[in-house]
């Protein structure tokens, strides 16, 4: 049976921000969009407390099974309208802030089903046509979204079956991600075990300029296109991980004119010099040509150091601490190339570095297989979502 989104919720309840607490005052716990995860769950590690008017507090306390929707925020790459379910079973009382609203499902609607339904609508970018932008903030026209979005609502029993199936599918994804995280921890632990003494005692220090050639395309803005040669930017560089998203390109015919300062290759080190500062990863095997954008420096190692060791040394607490001391900028912190090349790291014996590199490459192969499996699990989850909300499950 067809419904409007507005039909399956009570009247939306706006969030509240209240006032800052005075010293010694106890306040109300307030959930913000920083507490949202993209999986539809809450992360309460960074919860704030505010002074909330008692009457407003009583009318806006969150209940188990409430859906919290983001109505202001977002970004060009992340539309406003993310949702989480309030599943905190505790005596503590929570409200949500003024950038969010509470959607409380009516009696014949299963909250977890609604969460997945809203996630599906969000993934299919149905929220975008209900966005507007004022003073740099993207807002969701919530009432329009609820009144003008049509859905199919199965019987309560079917809603529960769909939600439980999607829960189990998501659990498999979570387990695979946890296994991948364990591999990352294992490599970091091995690095500290092998080289912790060199780092803490600053043994055999060499400046980066003594162990690497730098390829620097900062200050050179390439023309972009919808297709052509892949362009690697700072957005693609995560710590110990290269992300193929977002995908950007330059025109193929511009490649030779753009890449005049050196050609990066697979296993070279990418280092972000600002926004964010200090992210590091190795370039993976990329088929064909690619080019490197601004806010990135590529480091090509010389004979006394191997890339796998350099990657982890650059992300060590010791190096990152020194890097931040040399950074500059009032709003966005960055580091100049002439300062970066002077920073030092220990250079242990090459055979020890090679032992570590062999271990990293062994783990990388295992991680590659796990990430391939993760992609299959995520594809399966998305397929189930599509079938569920197209009425193709449990007919």
Domain ranges of the chain: 2-153, 154-179+349-390, 204-347
pLDDT of 103 reads: 99
pLDDT of 392 reads: 92
pLDDT of 13 reads: 98
pLDDT tens-digit series, residues 18-77:
999 999 899 999 999 999 998 899 999 999 999 999 999 999 999 999 999 999 988 777
* Alpha-helix runs per DSSP H in 202-304: 255-258
Spans of the chain, pLDDT less than 70: none
- Please tell me if the domain spanning 2-153 has the same topology as the one spanning 204-347: yes
User: Measured between alpha carbons, how far is 321 from 325 in angstroms, rounded to an integer?
Assistant: 7
pLDDT of 79 reads: 92
Query: ∠ CA 266-271-275 to the nearest 5 degrees?
Result: 135
> In which element (H, E) is residue 123 found?
helix 111-123
Domain 2-153 homologous superfamily, CATH: DNA methylase specificity domains (3.90.220.20)
Residue 351: how many other CB atoms lie within 10 Å: 7
Domain 204-347 homologous superfamily, CATH: DNA methylase specificity domains (3.90.220.20)
pLDDT of 199 reads: 93
Strand-pair partners of 282:
269
pLDDT of 187 reads: 98
pLDDT of 324 reads: 96
DSSP state of 19: B
Contact 297, 216 (CB under 8 A): yes
Contacts (Cβ under 8 Å, ≥6 apart) of 387: 393
Question: ω into residue 246 within 30 of 0, thus cis?
Answer: yes
User: Measured between alpha carbons, how far is 210 from 213 in angstroms, rounded to an integer?
Assistant: 8
pLDDT tens-digit series, residues 218-235:
777 889 999 999 999 999
């Amino acid at each position: 049976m067809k419904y409007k989104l507005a039909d399956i919720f009570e009247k939306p309840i706006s969030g509240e921000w209240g006032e800052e607490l005075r010293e010694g005052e106890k306040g109300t716990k307030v959930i913000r969009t920083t507490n949202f995860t993209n999986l539809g769950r809450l992360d309460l590690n960074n919860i704030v407390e505010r002074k909330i008017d008692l009457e407003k507090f009583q009318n806006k306390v969150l209940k188990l099974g409430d859906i919290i929707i983001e109505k202001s925020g977002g970004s060009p790459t992340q539309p406003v309208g993310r949702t989480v379910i309030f599943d905190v079973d505790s005596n503590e009382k929570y409200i949500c802030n003024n950038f969010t609203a509470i959607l409380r499902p009516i009696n014949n609607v299963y909250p977890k089903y609604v969460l997945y339904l809203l996630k599906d609508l969000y993934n299919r970018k149905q929220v975008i046509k209900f966005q507007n932008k004022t003073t740099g903030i993207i807002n969701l026209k919530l009432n329009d979204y609820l009144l003008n979005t049509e859905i199919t609502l199965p019987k309560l029993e079917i809603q529960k079956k769909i939600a439980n199936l999607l829960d189990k599918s998501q659990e498999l994804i979570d387990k695979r991600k946890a296994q991948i995280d364990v591999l990352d921890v294992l490599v970091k632990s091995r690095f500290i075990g092998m080289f912790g003494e060199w780092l803490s005692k600053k043994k055999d220090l060499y400046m980066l300029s003594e162990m690497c050639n730098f390829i620097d395309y900062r200050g050179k803005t390439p023309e972009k296109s919808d297709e052509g040669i892949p362009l690697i930017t700072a957005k693609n560089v995560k710590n110990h991980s290269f992300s193929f998203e977002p995908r950007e390109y330059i025109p193929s015919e511009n490649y030779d004119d753009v890449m005049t300062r050196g050609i990066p290759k697979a296993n070279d080190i990418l280092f972000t010099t600002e926004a964010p500062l200090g992210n590091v990863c190795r370039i993976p095997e990329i088929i064909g040509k690619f080019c490197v954008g601004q806010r990135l420096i590529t480091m090509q190692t010389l004979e006394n150091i191997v890339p796998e060791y350099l990657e982890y040394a650059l992300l060590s607490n010791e190096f990152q601490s020194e890097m931040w001391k040399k950074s500059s900028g009032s709003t966005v912190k960055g580091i100049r190339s002439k300062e970066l090349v002077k920073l030092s790291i220990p250079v242990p014996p090459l055979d020890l570095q090679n032992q570590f590199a062999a271990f990293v490459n062994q783990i990388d192969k295992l991680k590659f297989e796990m990430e391939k499996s993760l992609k299959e699990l995520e594809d399966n989850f998305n397929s189930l979502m599509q079938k569920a909300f197209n009425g193709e499950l449990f007919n």
